[in-house]
Chain A
Amino acid sequence: MSEPRPPGIADYARAYREGQTSPAAAAEACLAAIRASDQDDPPLRAVITILDDAMTAAEAASERIAAGTPRSLLDGVPIVVKDNVDVAGVPTTHGLPIELPVPEADARAVARLREAGAIIVGKANLHQLGAGTTGINPHTGTPRNPFDPQRWCGGSSSGCACAVGSGLVPMAVGTDAGGSVRAPAAFVGAVGFKPTFGRISRTGMAVLCDTLDHIGPLVTTCADAALTFATMAAIDSDDDETWDQPPLPADFLAAAARSPAGLRIGFARHTLESRVVEPEVAKAVTDAASALAEAGCQIVDVTVPDLDEARILGLILLGAEGPSGVEPVLKANIGKLALDLQVLLALGDTVTARDYLKAQRARGRQCDAWREVLSGVDAVLMPSAGMPAGKIFADALTTGEIDEVSSAKAISCTFPANLTGYPAVSVPCGRVSGLPVAAQIVAPPWHEARALALGAAIERSGLYRWQRPARYFADRILGRG
């Protein structure tokens, strides 16, 4: 008997192919569900801007599918895009209460998804400026965790996680400078994938930190992560970071689903003893190691560089590089920003050039150490977020909040892959008090298929048993109920 699981992209494609519903009907239901989700108490707040003109594209997709000529498996599938990534003609708000220029073109990654037939139904909520780990946003509202509306979805891709976790869409385009795709995915039981630095063009993305930021998908399965990643990944003449990438292998999707039997996995067991990883999360990640062993992997212990240092380096780089593109606008509107962002910007001002250069040197040493670790194993297993989703406190809703302990637990395990630029996937591997928790696989550069194949093996193990959240929308969008 198959386990219940959240519908993914293949389920949408099948529903269209079998005439269960059509892209136009699904888009209409999706737009209605997004609106309905914000009428609940508390409102879900996954989406900032609803894109009603999605119906035009959805109707065209319906015609293609009816004619038997879909553009791809993604044709007609509704998605949302984090609101720091451009969609043509739609304000990119960054979650800020500030009027900003309206982009004329899609971000390159978005354009590629659109060419594949994906239907963009909304711009997803986020922690203001993408600078926070809870998603609490006093201006645009705080996305609620589908498994407990009194808890947050994490950040900064909070709306993306909320939308995928609650079944509003099967895929969201997120961004990740320190774990902002992987940690929110972990908090809602989704898969979050950050590819190798330079795989997906950042043209049209509001880059928070030039040397750390990535675009990546939040989805319901590793297979969907592979599909959407492969759709977005490409060399872009306007983004020189993409120029050095090797081509994806022709059998990339098959490779990402292949058995990982025989691979040698470095288990960073020592990270489970860290103050930033709660014991119940540690147990779930240990179970994931056992599952990979049962799948035929060889598990060996490895030691990865210090997580606290990685987080501190990341924060210094974020503080120094942080708001460079939009600093004058932020300074001119400082009083309108969430108070936690105001404080973070003030902290960033105190980071000196010497701090920055020292942090980059230390980053180089961390990169050397990771390269050494991955020279002896095929991938590393460690926690994703070190805790389940945290509580939303009433006083934070109107001001934002700063909580160093919670932030450290949320992103300390994810920051290393931003410092190195290595691909990393967060995969659900259990529950703590009913809330999802996740393991993370980090692979060598360009070996996205290997990371996703290992993630898929953890999925197949059944360690994470999905339960339909109280507020869940995919069934009605797919015409199932």
Chain B
Amino acid sequence: MRQRPSPRIAGRRLQVLARLCRSPGVGRRLSELVLREMGLLAFRDAPEPGPLKAAIKFRVKPRPPSATETADV
């Protein structure tokens, strides 16, 4: 089985990665490769359960219910 490369990127490898990321076109493709490695693109491609809500309707902040309760133990 093929060994996965070390997940840690620093020093010279990070210099190269940062330079490539700043480069138009290459940077975007490279960023997407990194996002794929981090699992973000799998999320992008995954189907959503149930009917989609209209984007404008949902609350983006985690505001809890307007509580009148007190924070007792």
Contact = CB atoms under 8 A, between A and B. Distances in A.
Interface of A: 196-198, 210-211, 241, 244-249, 252, 255-256, 258, 260, 263, 308-309, 312-313, 315-316, 334, 339-340, 342-343, 346-347, 349-352, 354-355, 357-365, 367, 393, 395-396, 398-406, 418-422, 445-450, 453
B2 interface: no
Contact of A197 (B17, B53, B63, B69): B63
B71 A361 contact: no
A261 to B, nearest CB: 10
A308 B59 CA distance: 22
A399 B11 contact: yes
Interface string B14-27: 11011001100001
A252 B61 contact: no
Given A357-B55, A361-B52, A364-B58, A395 B64 contact: no
Contact of B43 (A312, A340, A453): A312
Contact of A404 (B22, B38, B48): B38
Contacts of B59: 364
Contact of B10 (A362, A365, A399): A399
A419 B62 contact: yes
B9 interface: yes
Nearest to A311: B39
Contacts of A352: 44
A402 B8 contact: yes
Q: Which 4 A-B pairs have the closest CB atoms?
A: A395-B11, A445-B64, A421-B62, A401-B10
Contacts of B67: 244-246, 445-446
B31 A211 contact: no
Contacts of A358: 43-44, 48
- Majority SS at the chain A contact face: helix
Interface residues of B, number: 46
A405 B62 contact: no
Contacts of B27: 346
A367 B62 contact: yes
Contacts of B70: 246-249, 446
Interface string B29-73: 011101101111001100011001101001111111111111111
Given A211-B60, A360-B60, A393-B10, A252 B39 contact: no
Contacts of A404: 7, 37-38
A197 B7 CA distance: 33
Contact of A343 (B14, B66, B73): B14
Interface centre among B28, B30, B64, B66 (most CB of A within 10 A): B64
Contacts of B63: 197-198, 241, 244, 421
Contacts of A405: 7-8
A263 B73 CA distance: 9
Given A246-B70, A399-B11, A404-B7, A361 B53 contact: yes
